[in-house]
Structure 1
Amino acid sequence: MRNCVNGRGGYDRVLMAVAAFLTISASQALAQSDGAHKSAAELAIEAAVPMPEPANVPPPTAGDFKLDNAGTTASISDAAKSDIKADIKPGDDRATDIKAPETKAADTKPADIKTQDSKPSDMATAPVKPDAAIPAAAPPAAAAAPAAEPAKEPVKAASNVPPADQPVADKLRELFSGKTLRTFDRKADRAAAEKFYAARDYAPVWTQAGGLTATAKGVIARLSDAASDGLNPADYPVPDFAAATTPDALADAELKLTASMLDYARQAQSGRMHFSQVSGDIQYPEHPTDPAEVLANVTTAKDASATLDSYNPPQKLYKELRKKLAELRGQGDGPAASPIPDGQVLKYVPARGKKPAEEVMDDPRVPQLRAKLGISENADDTRYDARVAEAVRRFQDSVDLKPTGVLDERTVRALNSPKHDRQIDTVIVNMERWRWLPRDLGAPAIGDAYVILNIPDYTLKVMQRGQQVWTTRVVTGKPGIHATPLLSETMKFITVNPTWNVPPSIIYNEYLPALQQDPTVLERMGLRLERGSDGQIHISQPPGEANALGRIRFNFPNKFLVYQHDTPDKYLFAKEERAFSHGCMRVQNPDQYASVLLNITEPNERWTPERVRGMYGSSEIDLKFPTPIPVNITYQTAFVDDAGKLQIRKDVYGRDATMIALLKNARGKDLEQVIAHAQPNYVRPAGNLPSNVNFASNSGYYPPGPSGPSFFERLFGGPPALQPPAPIGRRWQQPQQRQFYAR
């Protein structure tokens, strides 16, 4: 009998080879039949895709297969694998069934690759079982690559707006898309608001589901309390959100609150009026708000009220005025319009010692008194209690009466006097002027040092690190055309032994008429008269003890051609009111002033007044500061002194009166418009002089011809290309005779 067990191995090998061949052939036939059923578009797409070339492989033989150790698993030859791969098109799901060859360790060489052996370490190609490696036949629809679908419309991103706020957001989008929106007075405000809301899908920021947010409550609280900063709450109306019950009403209230917030921030920072509305001799650097920045800052702040309040001036002197305004209003800015009638003396006696109970008087005038003193609690109470007595005491102290807390005849007269209201107005306009000043008065590089000069108080102070370093008395300009201008500039250097170059205004208005009367007047005054070949006149006074500028000039170039300087007229400093100059500021102790400034800018040089005085002579000496020092010329008729007491000064230039009139007759946004004023004239004067006037010899002070330095250059020094500072926020006009140069 034939050994069937041994002969079976060859038979099995033949069957397996035939099965593999049939399977491969079926796969190829399936792919071909699949392509036959495809549409013309699908075939065109496949034709455009690069495909591997089909392999022309002969049918497998028994030698292509080898049994494993168990005699039950076959390994497919490399040629068969190539046939299978070539048959599967890119994108066909069957491609994932073909496993990549497993590589050996790093030392494996191409020569080492062979069919499976009994040692696993020698494997170069992983064994593949027929039922796992060869995919089963699948229906044509499953085997074919998915057909290309037509392009779809882009899907709109889901809105981030809560469903409850979506109707309001839709209305806001509609309002901004229209041209009839009149909520914002300024184009910049509307543009910033539109960009802000668009970035949040027009979701409201002040309400959520119709209720006020914490941010909105903070903003409303700040706007409602605008009077505490000397502003008018009526300028920043707060919409009635409680009455807004529809999406249209909520959207309208949303934008109105946004507009009021932007108006508040702008006026809190820059003022309700532009300084040019008051006078042409005021020039401060402008610092307008950025509406986009305001929206971002306030809406993302933890405390919206505090953030909005931060747009008010940060200076200590402003905050002290704010406190005094609150005190004044609490002592007498109540709604009662009629005067308090005379009556019995009212007083309050507290319980103390042997008196077990307080003594409280009753009077029908007390409700009116409460209103006058700003006491809103128990407004109809007729008792003269401890709270009323304390309010009376504070009021007495503010008007220089003995603070007894007793309502006597003198106190009643003071309460009925309009003087108290004038004090409030004065404080308010001084707070307004603080908004014009730079936010940073000093230079950070030198400890925030700066100079501040208060014209109505006739004082100059040097400040550093928030503390007063030095102070002195000054003489300022006369009222009228010689008024000292208000400005902020930087002092770049000081000049010891300065030459006084007489300003054109003084030459025209004073010296030329004087020469007509007395041709020798300038010579007797020690002044030099020179005339260029083009007929222009120059008058100067050489350095010396009798020089009109004294021994030192403090230079901070500005368009008004004013500066600070010494003076030989020392007696003027003893007067209480010291408005005597042509606009410049005369300093009482210039040698001390110079040493203080030099020690701030050059702390290692040890400048002393004696060292400065040792430089006095007949030649000009310029001492330049490594870091310029800011100089701020202010007009503070109301300020708080070091003792915490409110000080009121005479409105010597009428600035308060002008501003109060403007605010009380406010034309709204017109007060923020810039008014152009005549600018100083830098042309050197020319004119007819008497024939017997003596001219000085050509000393080089005044080069002939139009190429000589302008008066601005001659006054402040510097290179010939030095130009007068350009005005900020206004245009230049033809100069008039009104000048601000002075001595």
Structure 2
Amino acid sequence: MRDRSNNRRGYDRVLMAVAATFLTVSATSALAQDTPRASAAELAIDAAIPRPEPANVPPPTASDFKPDATGALPDTAKVSDAKATDPKTSDSKTSDSKPSDSKPSDNQPTEPSTAAKAVEPKPGDVATTPATDTKSTETKSTETKPLEAPKTDTAVAPPAAAPAAETATAPAATPAPATAAAPAAEPAKEPVKAASNVPADDQPVADKLREMLASKTLRAFDRKVEHAAAEKFYSARDYAPVFTKSGKLTDTAKGVIARLKDAASDGLNPADYPVPDFTAATSPDALADAELKLAASMLDYARQAQSGRMHWSQLSADIQYPEHPIDASEVLANVTSAKDASAALDSYNPPQKLYKELKKKLAELRGQGDGPVITIADGPALRYMPARGKKQAAVEMDDPRVPDLRTKLGITENADSTKYDAAVARAVEKFQDSVELKPTGILDDRTVRALNSPKRDKQIDTVIVNMERWRWLPRQLGAASVGNAYVILNIPDYTLKVMQNGAQVWTTRVVTGKPGQHATPLLTETMKYITVNPTWNVPPSIIYNEYLPALQQDPTVLQRMGLKLERDRDGSIHISQPPGEANALGRIRFNFPNKFLVYQHDTPDKYLFAKEERAYSHGCMRVQNPDQYASVLLNITEPNEHYTPERIRSMYGSNEVDLKFPTPIPVNITYQTAFVDDAGKLQFRKDVYGRDATMLSLLKNSRGKDLEAVVAHAQPSYSRPPSSSLPAGVNVAGDNGSWNSGPNFFERLFGGFGQPEPQPARRGQAQQQRRVYTR
């Protein structure tokens, strides 16, 4: 028994000695880890050296770790500290682990679990890279060799640890500070900016353009709509400049600049479209500023080329043309995308043939034409003496200068004749009138000097104002569905023309309004129908300015003239004349309703058409051959009906007949004191209404942008006179207690609205009626 106790005590002493030895070794190892040798660099080197794994030890399972170890990334600093103080970790760096040190638990599986793979970092990974993929720490074998990173479908494995042989030459990786070693989350990425199509050399200019166009203080564009159009245009191209590339002018810029500098050829003022100096623009700011200034000048040119330097309302209240402003966005897109920017910008000028012919003549007057200059030689005065009855024949002087004179004046008939006949004398008279010489028709020394004068300033100015008036007219003068047919009446030339398919179909003489308050207005309207046997509804201007004062002198004057006076319910006066041979409108009225209450019509006063100057009406236009005019228009709108002048005349009677047009015909009333005739000769006419001088004064002495503003004119107002103003004895149709409640004056004036059929005049009454002035 004693022996057993002694043996037991001896065994206990052996165990205690072993335990003491183990504790001593463990303490020594722990102290070794706390020595100054374990610096950060040395720990990093140690971490990069592969270590042998314990033999025949199954990998750890999830039960060996804290419950939240699978849901969070390991903190690199904490793992490093744990490995520096954990005896197991320290032993693995200095010696092989004993089997007893890593004995598995009874419930540990034989295959590694997914959770264990996700949290087991290798020493090298902890020291050099953030713990983003922990699958690479899975144990592949028990051999002492570097571990291979396993394949994964979810993340790219971190770089494998460097072999031990490379650590002698490769610089050691410095571990990150403990506060930034393991990011909690991936930093937020900045928004990806779309790739710019602007070349690198132009990007500074583009940036400046973006800044300038976004500024509310930008003064390059005078109109908000043009500023907005420019901003939209440049933003669509990432604000890349269009007129420069790498600081040099583009072909587009060269074309635009050439057109602006040649603006005078179209009768425009180049000073209104300044061209910036691109050669002095060396900085992005200067280039951007020049870019926008050129764009603004381009828009100004397009606008004035299309609509005119001055608005027609600046000139007079009796002008009414349709507006046709430019679309700034369309101009920017059209000109900058065209192969020939100059031609694209030039296309905003009037497209009509007569405008282009005036432009050519303007160049010739400025000495830029290619045609030969015809000079009339000095010589005796030439005159034409018309025949005086049967006893004295016409006198036609003969002179060798006459053929040149005919050519210079545009006389194509008998071009080689040396006779100074009536045609030559009339042409000389018109020329004298156009240059403010006494229109005698005699070719004297003053007339020869005027014909040969190299200085044509007055003629140049006249051509320019007429080119300006062409800009007011619609771009499409006619009705496209009937061969672009239209009517054009030129007041100073006293002629009316019917045009179709670009050619003259028919022409006739007209009588127009007298200068002053009875001037024929300028307008564009559509003729919708004609009226045969019209009733003349006297315009208010004639009623209140002429007929009512005449009634004060003679209360029976209207009755004797065959006119009917009525008082409407509102007390206003209405005077009319029934259809008939003596009607002031003649047999036909051509209706194109307008606010000026004017129209074209026949007249019983045929003798006025023989005069050279025919401004005698109250504003309406009297046509010399109305039956032919009506048949021409009807054959255009209804070609299958085969109207003839005889068929029109067969409708003459005492009842109104309206002939409606299936397609309305545009009517353009113009004022052309300078035009090119069919023979290609530049013709000048007397400025009967004095409008050329007024236009020139405005164009030369006013700012261009001010002239574009619309002027509101007060229209004439005719107040109804009190009933007491009518003298006793005046026969008023409505004074028997009934009031006229028929169509209003506008409807009466243009007819065709179902008014009661007028009573025919008594037999013989037409011969006794006096001639009545009409508009």
Provide TM-score, normalisation by structure 2: 0.65
Is 1:38 the counterpart of 2:70 in the alignment? yes
Partner of 2:739: 704
Is 1:231 the counterpart of 2:268 in the alignment? yes
Contact 1:560/1:680, CA 8 A, preserved across alignment: no
| Distance 1:521-1:398 versus aligned 2 partners, 3 A rule | same
Q: Secondary structure at the match of 2:349?
A: coil
Coordinate RMSD, CA, aligned: 3.9
Question: Among 422, 436, 443, which residue is 2:458 paired with?
Answer: 422
Partner of 2:299: 262
| Distance 1:148-1:553 versus aligned 2 partners, 3 A rule | farther
CA distance in 1, matches of 2:290, 2:447: 46
CA distance in 1, matches of 2:287, 2:590: 59
Partner of 2:749: 715
Partner of 2:632: 596
CA distance in 1, matches of 2:465, 2:286: 37
Q: Secondary structure at the match of 1:493?
A: strand
Contact 2:212/2:218, CA 8 A, preserved across alignment: yes
Partner of 2:345: 308
| Distance 1:505-1:139 versus aligned 2 partners, 3 A rule | closer
Partner of 1:628: 664
Partner of 1:560: 596
CA distance in 2, matches of 1:216, 1:667: 26
CA distance in 1, matches of 2:642, 2:472: 36
Partner of 2:310: 273
Partner of 2:434: none
Q: Secondary structure at the match of 1:633?
A: strand
Question: Among 184, 187, 192, which residue is 1:155 paired with?
Answer: 192
Residue 411 of structure 1: how far off its partner (Å): 11
Partner of 2:468: 432
- Where does 1:460-499 land on structure 2 (aligned, <5 Å)? 460-499=496-535
Residue 199 of structure 1: how far off its partner (Å): 1.5
CA distance in 2, matches of 1:422, 1:679: 33
- Where does 1:563-578 land on structure 2 (aligned, <5 Å)? 563-578=599-614
Partner of 1:203: 240
Residue 329 of structure 1: how far off its partner (Å): 0.6
Question: Among 619, 636, 640, which residue is 1:583 paired with?
Answer: 619
| Distance 1:194-1:518 versus aligned 2 partners, 3 A rule | same
Contact 1:239/1:257, CA 8 A, preserved across alignment: yes
Partner of 2:252: 215
| Distance 1:523-1:35 versus aligned 2 partners, 3 A rule | farther
Contact 1:477/1:583, CA 8 A, preserved across alignment: yes
Q: How many residues matched?
A: 549
Contact 1:301/1:307, CA 8 A, preserved across alignment: yes
Gaps of 5+ in 1: 1-25, 43-83, 85-92, 94-135, 333-343, 346-392, 404-408, 722-740
Partner of 2:651: 615
1:72-131 superposed Cα distances (whole Å, 9 cap, x missing partner): xxxxxxxxxxxx9xxxxxxxx9xxxxxxxxxxxxxxxxxxxxxxxxxxxxxxxxxxxxxx
Is 1:693 the counterpart of 2:730 in the alignment? yes
| Distance 1:34-1:290 versus aligned 2 partners, 3 A rule | farther
CA distance in 1, matches of 2:59, 2:478: 88
Q: Secondary structure at the match of 1:330?
A: coil
Residue 532 of structure 1: how far off its partner (Å): 3.6
Q: Secondary structure at the match of 1:258?
A: helix
CA distance in 1, matches of 2:691, 2:750: 29
Contact 2:743/2:753, CA 8 A, preserved across alignment: no
Tell me whether 187-196 or 466-475 shows the greater mean CA deviation.
187-196
CA distance in 2, matches of 1:431, 1:214: 29
| Distance 1:281-1:410 versus aligned 2 partners, 3 A rule | closer
1:444-475 superposed Cα distances (whole Å, 9 cap, x missing partner): 11110000000000000000110111100000
CA distance in 2, matches of 1:589, 1:617: 18
CA distance in 2, matches of 1:31, 1:471: 113
Q: Secondary structure at the match of 2:531?
A: strand
CA distance in 1, matches of 2:251, 2:295: 15
Residue 535 of structure 1: how far off its partner (Å): 3.0
Residue 156 of structure 1: how far off its partner (Å): 1.2
Question: Among 485, 502, 508, which residue is 1:449 paired with?
Answer: 485
Residue 597 of structure 1: how far off its partner (Å): 0.5
1:593-645 superposed Cα distances (whole Å, 9 cap, x missing partner): 01111111111111111111111111111111111000000000000000000
| Distance 1:28-1:492 versus aligned 2 partners, 3 A rule | farther
Gaps of 5+ in 2: 1-57, 75-112, 114-132, 134-149, 159-183, 370-376, 379-402, 417-444, 756-772
| Distance 1:28-1:253 versus aligned 2 partners, 3 A rule | same
Amino acid at match of 1:221: A
Contact 1:683/1:710, CA 8 A, preserved across alignment: no
CA distance in 2, matches of 1:631, 1:324: 26
CA distance in 2, matches of 1:330, 1:430: 19
| Distance 1:716-1:35 versus aligned 2 partners, 3 A rule | farther
Tell me whether 565-574 or 512-521 shows the greater mean CA deviation.
512-521
1:293-327 superposed Cα distances (whole Å, 9 cap, x missing partner): 10000001111110000000000000000000000
Question: Among 149, 154, 167, which residue is 2:204 paired with?
Answer: 167
Contact 2:276/2:290, CA 8 A, preserved across alignment: yes
Percent identical: 78
Residue 717 of structure 1: how far off its partner (Å): 3.6
CA distance in 1, matches of 2:576, 2:513: 21
| Distance 1:151-1:519 versus aligned 2 partners, 3 A rule | same
Residue 256 of structure 1: how far off its partner (Å): 1.1
Partner of 1:363: none
Contact 2:479/2:666, CA 8 A, preserved across alignment: yes
Contact 1:554/1:563, CA 8 A, preserved across alignment: yes
| Distance 1:703-1:259 versus aligned 2 partners, 3 A rule | farther
CA distance in 2, matches of 1:511, 1:463: 38
Contact 2:273/2:297, CA 8 A, preserved across alignment: yes
Larger radius of gyration: 2
Q: Secondary structure at the match of 2:279?
A: coil
Residue 151 of structure 1: how far off its partner (Å): 4.9
Provide TM-score, normalisation by structure 1: 0.67
Partner of 2:706: 670
Q: Secondary structure at the match of 1:709?
A: coil
Residue 400 of structure 1: how far off its partner (Å): 8.6
Tell me whether 566-575 or 657-666 shows the greater mean CA deviation.
657-666
